[in-house]
Chains A and B, each alone.
Chain A
Amino acid sequence: EAGVTQFPSHSVIEKGQTVTLRCDPISGHDNLYWYRRVMGKEIKFLLHFVKESKQDESGMPNNRFLAERTGGTYSTLKVQPAELEDSGVYFCASSPSWTGETFGSGTRLTVV
C-alpha cells in the first residue's frame, strides 16, 4: 500500500508569504496528525483530525496556521503570513486507530 505522502518535500519562502503544505494519508486511515520539528527542538504535535473533524488542535502555535481536511481524505496546512520562526520540518502521520502512526517524509520549510 502507498505510504503517507507529503508535498512539497522542500519549500523556501520569504517572510510574509503564504505556504500550503499537503498531506495524503494512507487510504482508509481516519486519523490524520500534523507535527513540526523546529531545529534543535523536539518534534511537537500540532493537531489531529478524525475524518474531516478536528479532534485536537491544542498544539497549533497561533492563528497564522490553518489546517483543513475536506472530505476526510487529504489535508492541507497553510501558514499565512509565514514568519522566520515557522522554519522547520512539518510531518504528517496517519493511523487507523490510536496506536502506530505512520509518518510521511516531511516537508522542510525555510522562511527567509
Chain B
Amino acid sequence: AQKITQTQPGMFVQEKEAVTLDCTYDTSDPSYGLFWYKQPSSGEMIFLIYQGSYDQQNATEGRYSLNFQKARKSANLVISASQLGDSAMYFCAMKSGGGADGLTFGKGTHLIIQP
C-alpha cells in the first residue's frame, strides 16, 4: 500500500523567505512518481512539480524545487522567495506502477504568507 505523510497542517512564513513543506512517502514499488499540487482558496488544484523515482537530479520549476531524498523516502517542496500569492493548501501525492492508477494524496499543508 502507498502512503503519503505531510506532518505540517499549517505554516506561517514571512514574505520573501524560503519555505520548505515536508512530505514523506511509503511504497514498495521501485518505480513511482511524486507530485506537488497547490490549491488556492478558489478551489482548483494546480500542478506544481513532478519527480520520478529514477530521476538523478532534483526537479525544479521556477521558484519551486523538490528536495528528493530517496533513501529517506522524503520529497520536500521548497519555495524560494515566497510571495503573498503562495498562500494556499499544498498537497504532496504519489503514483506507482504497481498501485492504483490514481494519485495517493497526503492531508495537505495550509501555507500562509505574511507581509
Chain A residues with CB under 8 Å of chain B are 3, 33, 35, 41-48, 55-56, 58-59, 89, 91, 93, 98-106
B107 touching A42, Cβ below 8 Å: yes
Q: Is the CB of A56 within 8 A of B50?
A: no
How many A-B residue pairs have C-beta atoms within 8 angstroms? Tell me: 62
Majority secondary structure of chain B interface residues (helix, strand, loop or mixed): strand
Measured between beta carbons, the chain B residues less than 8 angstroms from A58 are 100
Contact of A59 among B33, B47, B93, B100 (CB under 8 A): B100
Chain B residues proximal to chain A, CB less than 8 Å: 4, 33, 35, 37, 42-47, 50, 52, 91, 93, 95, 100-108
Q: Which chain A positions have C-beta within 8 A of B42?
A: 105
Are the C-beta atoms of A103 and B45 separated by less than 8 Å?
yes
Is the CB–CB distance between B47 and A102 below 8 Å? yes
> In the assembly, what is the distance between CA of A45 and CA of B93, in Å?
11
Contact A105 B44, CB 8 Å, known A43-B105, A56-B100, A59-B100: yes
Residue of A nearest to B97 (CB): A98
Enumerate chain B residues within 8 angstroms of A3, measured Cβ to Cβ. Answer: 44
